[in-house]
Amino acid sequence: MTRMKAFGVRPPEPRSARVLELPRPEPRPGEALVEVLEVGICGTDAEINEGLYGTAPQGEEFLILGHEILGRLESGELVVPMVRRGCLVCSHCRRGEQDMCGSGSFSERGIKGIHGGICAYIAEAPSMLIGVPAAARAHAVLLEPMSVVAKGIRHALLIQKRFQWEPRRALVVGGGPIGLLATLALRALGWEVVTAARKRGTSAKSAVVAAAGASYHSVGDASLLSLAEGGAAFDFIFEASGSAEAAFDSMHLLALNGVLCLTSITGGSALKTVPSDRLNRDLVLGNKVVFGVVNANRQDFVEGLAYFELIEKKWPGALGKLLTHRVGFDNAGALFDLQKTGIKTVFQVSRD
């Protein structure tokens, strides 16, 4: 039996991440063998390593990490696997909308019940693979987070078909990879954008924002709510801060008829006092909408590729600037320390 290196955890044991040697997967009939090239690392991976969640495949001790996967088929075609597998029971999953699963009995590669991609090979059903053009090779590992951005924008536009919506100003809350991808996508659509993040002064994050013609607001210098002091309000808010406090504060910054898209998954049990009467009144009288988005389906991955093309035409090389650190099996122990710095850390699986 051929074996391969992998990087995984023993859920729910905290800080159990390590390099492993596991059997190389053998594709079942109808599956394709995918050589993994690289994998993006995000906060979800870090939280799984902290034991906050994550489920190994049934009957197995370890879960291989990594859901932001870029791979290659034997034909040479570049592919990105979708993350969520549907329950095959609810109507949403049967229609290919597994991201909207109505039963909760889904599985997710590298997160819940299916091994991730920090390993040499995965076996995958072709229906779960998104083909990637060679021109996008340098930044294709960002497609999974880009698909979440694409879904958030798409759903906001669908919601606002309830009337003639003419949005002009957007606020992106959070300067991580998803927040910066949202900034680039919304600027590529021609919107005026303010991006609020923790970093003070000049940083790699603020440079990406400025290069796209957006404004950078440091919440280290002035609170998020200070944006409202001059009467500022936003037609669309894309929240990707990882902070429930920021998510609730964002509600106060919505313009009349505005939409707030929440993407942060916050753990813990922190309490926050909120002006519930005022929020309820403002949401009702202002025809405002707050909705959440998680994961994505094929349409959003395909639209993510379209955003890539649009962004690269306007600001060549902008997407590559989000990839700030790389690690491999030889220095895998530094992974989560690096993940806390820079913008996006990539696990380089193949030496290609």
Helix (H, G, I), strand (E, B) or coil at 259: strand
Q: Does residue 206 share a domain with residue 104?
A: no
The pLDDT of residue 351: 79
Range 140-166 average pLDDT = 97
The band of 107, judged by pLDDT with boundaries at 50, 70 and 90, is very high
Smallest CA-to-CA distance from 266 within 174, 195, 199 is with 174
DSSP labels for 188-247?
HTT-EEEEEES--SS-HHHHHHHHTT-EEEETTTS-GGGGGTTT--EEEEEE-SS-HHHH
Boundaries of domain holding 329: 3-132+318-348
Query: Does residue 304 sit within a domain?
Result: no
Q: List pLDDT tens digits, range 16-52.
A: 999 999 999 999 999 999 999 999 999 999 999 999 9
Output the pTM of the full model.
Answer: 0.95
Query: Does residue 193 sit within a domain?
Result: yes
Choice between 200 and 317, residue whose per-residue pLDDT is larger:
317
Smallest CA-to-CA distance from 274 within 295, 296, 255, 248 is with 248
C-beta separation of 5 from 329 below 8 A: yes
DSSP character at residue 57: P
The band of 232, judged by pLDDT with boundaries at 50, 70 and 90, is confident
Range 84-107 average pLDDT = 92
Range 77-98 average pLDDT = 94
CA 63 from chain center: how many Å? 20
The pLDDT of residue 78: 98
pLDDT higher than 80, residue 352: no
Query: Does residue 309 sit within a domain?
Result: no
Number of domains in the chain: 2
Q: Does residue 128 share a domain with residue 190?
A: no
C-beta separation of 8 from 62 below 8 A: yes
Q: List pLDDT tens digits, range 178-207.
A: 999 999 999 999 999 999 998 887 789 999
Q: List pLDDT tens digits, range 259-306.
A: 999 999 877 777 888 889 999 999 999 999 999 999 999 999 999 999
Q: Does residue 278 share a domain with residue 152?
A: yes
The pLDDT of residue 229: 83
Q: Does residue 162 share a domain with residue 246?
A: yes
Range 203-218 average pLDDT = 94
The pLDDT of residue 199: 82
Query: Does residue 141 sit within a domain?
Result: no
Range 79-89 average pLDDT = 94
What share of the chain in percent tops pLDDT 70? 99
The pLDDT of residue 228: 87
Which two structure tokens, joined as six digits, stand for 123? 């076996």
Other C-beta atoms closer than 10 Å to the C-beta of 302 total 15
Q: What value, to the nearest 5°, has the Cα angle with vertex 246 and ends 178 and 235?
A: 70
Beta-strand relationship, 32-41 and 68-72? antiparallel
How far apart (Å, rounded) are the C-alpha atoms in residues 229 and 210?
A: 23
The pLDDT of residue 25: 94
The pLDDT of residue 266: 79
Query: Does residue 250 sit within a domain?
Result: yes
Q: Does residue 191 share a domain with residue 97?
A: no
The pLDDT of residue 230: 74
pLDDT higher than 90, residue 341: no
Query: Does residue 301 sit within a domain?
Result: no
Q: Does residue 167 share a domain with residue 204?
A: yes
The pLDDT of residue 287: 96
DSSP character at residue 43: H
